Amino acid sequence: MRHSTRIAVGPVQFRVGSDWAEPIAGLERLYAAYPQDDARPADATVRLFAARPWRRWLRPSVHIGGDFIVPDALPLPLSMGLLAAEMGMNLQVALGWRRHMLLHASAVAKHGRAIIMSGESGSGKSTLAALLGEDGWRLMGDEFTLIDPASGDAFAFPRAVSLKNQAIAEVAGRVDPSRLGPLLAGTPKGDIRHLIPRADAIAAMHEPARPALLLFPRFGGEAAIEPMGEGEAFVRLTEASTNYVALGEAGFAALTRLVRETPAFGVSYPDSATGMALVEQLWAEAVR
């Protein structure tokens, strides 16, 4: 490929190749401070390519490829190349990673213990994690949390946070502008702006944390906390895992252990401030 870069996020080493310079330059700015081992081969490959050679210049549209592809994925305009790269990286992890059980969940940690927040997009799990990450917590990731089957520990995947729509204004005001990527307006997922995690979260990206709380946030409605049984948490997390089935008995053992050892709650909240307060309240009770 004409342009390429290498990025390590948590335990995953990526190489990203592109027919255009712009997405690579964008990635290199977002991931400049991430620790990098140049001698380490890539676990996962992402390719951003033009379907036809002239499409590099003429109405350039970025196709997302790599080790794993989604056959009917639509290409994105070059102005959204950074989003294409993010989607490509997510795809490779979701479909290719086997070392840990992957949960589609955000996570934050304090004193070596983690809060794992799982929910559909729109649940606010990313925004909550990003806000907590600016408020005394170590951001472990806004999209994936990795569970080590052997130890039961949570591992971080602190990619650049993908802030969407209202979350952009909510978070952007609190952080140094140098930690924000360009505004990608009107993408298929709405407006998007990337946030580089705090330096301490990046520096700690290889440190495991013990799961202390499993939360299932739901944005909207009255503030409410509802304890969740082991069985329901198990079912929800199998649905939130992209590789549970592929891990076989190791995944089964990891998940039964996780839901048995970790208290789980459904959390409804009308706004981010309330959501954060509820999380802090549950945390105080959990570590007491």
Partner 1 sequence: MSAVQTFVDLLAGRRDAATLTRRDWDGVIGVARAEAMLATLACRLEQAALRPPVAALLADQRAAAEVAQRQALWEAEMARRALKGQRIEFVLLKGTAYAAAGLSCAAGRQIGDLDILVLRSDIGRAENDLLEAGWEWVKSDPYDDAYYRDHMHELPPLIHKARDRMIDVHHTILPQTHRITPDALILMAEAIETPSGFRVLSPPAMACHCAAHLLADGDLQGGLRNLWDFHLLVLDFLKDDRDFYLTLIEEASTHGLAKVVKRALRLANRIYGTPLRSYSWPFRLEFEREWDDDLFIRRLLARDEWGHATGFALQQAFYIRSHWLRMPPAMLARHLWTKWRKR
Partner 2 sequence: MPDAVYRAAPPDALRIEPLGDLTAIFDRRSTQTHLVVPPIPEILTLMGDAPCDAAALAARLAAAFDLDAEGDARVVVAERLAELAAIGLVERA
Alpha carbons 280 and 165: distance in angstroms, whole number: 25
The binder of partner 1 chosen from 22, 28, 67, 148 (CB under 8 A): 67
Give the other-Cβ count within 10 Å of 239's Cβ.
11
Q: Of these partners, partner 1, partner 2, none, which one is at the site of residue 43 (CB under 5 to 8 Å by kind)?
A: partner 1
Binds partner 1 by CB under 8 A, chosen from 40, 174, 206, 260: 40
User: Please, which residue, 47 or 198, has the CB nearer to partner 1?
Assistant: 47
Show the tokens assigned to 183: 């505004």
Q: Which stretch binds partner 1 (CB under 8 A): 51-59, 91-99, 172-180, 218-226?
A: 91-99
Quote the Cα angle for 258-151-39, to 5°: 125
DSSP state of 33: T
- What span, in angstroms and rounded, lies between the C-alpha atoms of 51 and 70? 15
Q: Which two tokens stand for residue 262?
A: 């970790």
CA dihedral sign, ordered 138, 141, 142, 148: negative
Q: How many Cα atoms within 13 Å fall on the side-chain side of residue 28? A: 11
Site for partner 2 in 238-257 (CB under 8 A): 238, 245, 248-249, 252, 256
Among 175, 203, 225, 246, binds partner 1 (CB under 8 A): 246
What gap in Å lies between CA 122 and CA 124, rounded to an integer?
Answer: 5
Residue closer to partner 2, measured from CB, 78 or 254: 254
Residue 113, contacted partner among partner 2, partner 1, none, CB below 5-8 A by kind? none
Are the C-beta atoms of residues 192 and 265 closer than 8 Å to each other? no
Q: Give yes or no for residue 266 binding partner 2 (CB under 8 A).
A: no
Site string for partner 2, 199-238 (x = CB under 8 A): ------------------------------xxxx-xx--x
Largest CA distance in the chain: 62
Binding site for partner 2 (CB under 8 A): 229-232, 234-235, 238, 245, 248-249, 252, 256, 259-260
Binding site for partner 1 (CB under 8 A): 1, 13, 15, 17, 37-43, 45, 47, 49, 65, 67, 96-99, 246-248, 250
